[in-house]
Structure 1
Amino acid sequence: MTTTIIVKANHGWPVDVSAFHPKTGEKIEHYGGRVPAGENRDFICHSDMDLKIHEVQPAEIEDEREAAENAAAANDTRDEDAAG
């Protein structure tokens, strides 16, 4: 049996959806994702998965932005070093 879960990110924040094996707790890769603020998305769940639904908070978005900027700066530095 399958169940459709409708995630409505309609309160101004995105929502992350992740899938996990119900017995082992291992993350099921390549399933889930981020529902952008203001959008709806359907997710299908079956007996071999559990879903975790998480409303992303402003501080988490800022932390992600800083991490991406730091990673980009590190890549730029490596590129400059490789160029000589």
Structure 2
Amino acid sequence: MSSPEDRQEALEEHGLTETQDGFVLSLRGFRKAAQRARALRDQGDQEAARMLALDPDDPVRWEYARCVQIEAFHDEWYESEF
């Protein structure tokens, strides 16, 4: 079983901070999400293409990026647990 420190390290790797209100995305996380979104767009994902077309300051793009990083963290964390 992984430790809380391992979990925190994984969160930081994805550019996320966990608060009482949920996950907050850092600039580093936003950049990583953009890389993931470009890969998804290249695979034909229309949602990723629409999000990448938005201005980087658009709150919708930031929310999309946050969701991408939460999903990546979740997949990595729970795959390592089982």
What TM-score, normalized to structure 2? 0.30
User: Which of the two has greater helix per residue?
Assistant: 2
User: Which of the two has greater strand per residue?
Assistant: 1
